[in-house]
Structure 1
């Protein structure tokens, strides 16, 4: 069943947010900041997931695209309002939302940090970056935000 702003309370966490940012417990993530994935784009939503693997990709891609060379961060978050399926993956790549990816215009509160996650090999990460570059070249890296 699709998760919508009118039908979301049944979705259980824990929830995770992968990022390049350094945050503290109690901090709130809010929309209106620069996107981790497209330069010059301000995000109208905050994206999160109930799957650690999806958060790992978020953390790794955010740091790789920023060129920091640092390890990303994965935070345990609590949505403070309604949320919906992320249409960028559920409608385009993974019908039914197996990645358990969501977005919200409400804040997410950081309630903890996941420290013991395993990243992808450099080759797998480079493969994903190459795929994203190809999508950009073809004009297909559209983010529905």
Structure 2
């Protein structure tokens, strides 16, 4: 399988709404959103995400464990690169449940499983970078540019993704007056999960977003991806302006 994270997926939208309601303290409505997400989940990918969020709304630890195990089983059923980064989080959360249940053997087992999935990403790509810069094959993208989201911040890394639509979104939000471009790139050195998105809202790095201190080499350009509308672009910029969170640089 080759699953791409889609923010327009209705189950993902419901979970995002639920998280927003939870952040505002409206827990009853949040619970309804997560329940609806689970009820509407039609495949293992949607069930994996919905069960994860539903688990964290459970007051009883055995119920929380049951839903986390459901999420893990659905993730295993998928067996896709897109969800492997979530294993570390799922195993760690399950370990925490067993600790609360005073089951030290299982707590240790799942901690070890969590640790076994840590380390450098194993994603093989293809990888993309979105920008408005006019570049050509063979050019190198390097760290040190100015953040698209905080103009006072010089970035220590160069960012890229294995999700072409994610790169297209980055191109749409990028500074400059040029046309939106999505380039296929090859990392020239080691790279890591982007900590600004990993485990922030969804388990692991479902958007397959990465960063590197080493250059990225342009190896081609894409012509087709799901471009966002002018209205959607305005909403994104508005949400980014409201976001007071710190960028992990």
User: For this structure pair, what is the TM-score category when the shorter chain's length is used for normalisation?
Assistant: 0.7 to 0.9
Q: Do structure 1's residue 61 and structure 2's residue 173 form an aligned pair? A: yes
Unaligned regions of 5+ residues in structure 2, if any? 1-83, 89-116
What is the CA distance between 1:58 and its match in structure 2? 0.5
Instruction: Normalising by structure 1, report the TM-score.
Output: 0.84
What is the CA distance between 1:116 and its match in structure 2? 2.2
Q: Do structure 1's residue 80 and structure 2's residue 185 form an aligned pair? A: no
Measured against aligned partners, the alpha-carbon deviations of 1:3-60 in whole angstroms (never above 9, x if no partner) come to: 999523x311110000121111001111122222221321100100000111011100
Structure with bigger strand share is: 1
What's the RMSD between the two structures over aligned residues? 2.1
Unaligned regions of 5+ residues in structure 1, if any? none
3-state DSSP of counterpart to 1:88:
coil
Indicate the structure whose relative CO is greater, using CA pairs within 8 Å and at least 6 residues apart: 1
* Segments of 4+ moved more than 3 angstroms: 1-6
For these two proteins, the number of residue pairs brought into alignment is: 136
Higher Rg of the two aligned structures: 2
Measured against aligned partners, the alpha-carbon deviations of 1:99-136 in whole angstroms (never above 9, x if no partner) come to: 1000011111000011222311111111111111111x
For residue 200 of structure 2, what is the aligned residue in structure 1? 92
The 1:55–1:48 alpha-carbon spacing in structure 2 relative to 1, beyond 3 Å, is: same
Q: Which residue of 15, 34, 49 corresponds with 2:146?
A: 34
Instruction: Normalising by structure 2, report the TM-score.
Output: 0.51
For residues 118 and 211 of structure 2, the distance between their equivalents in structure 1, rounded to whole angstroms, comes to 10
Alignment of 1:115-126 (within 5 A): 115-126=223-234
For residue 134 of structure 2, what is the aligned residue in structure 1? 22
3-state DSSP of counterpart to 1:89:
coil
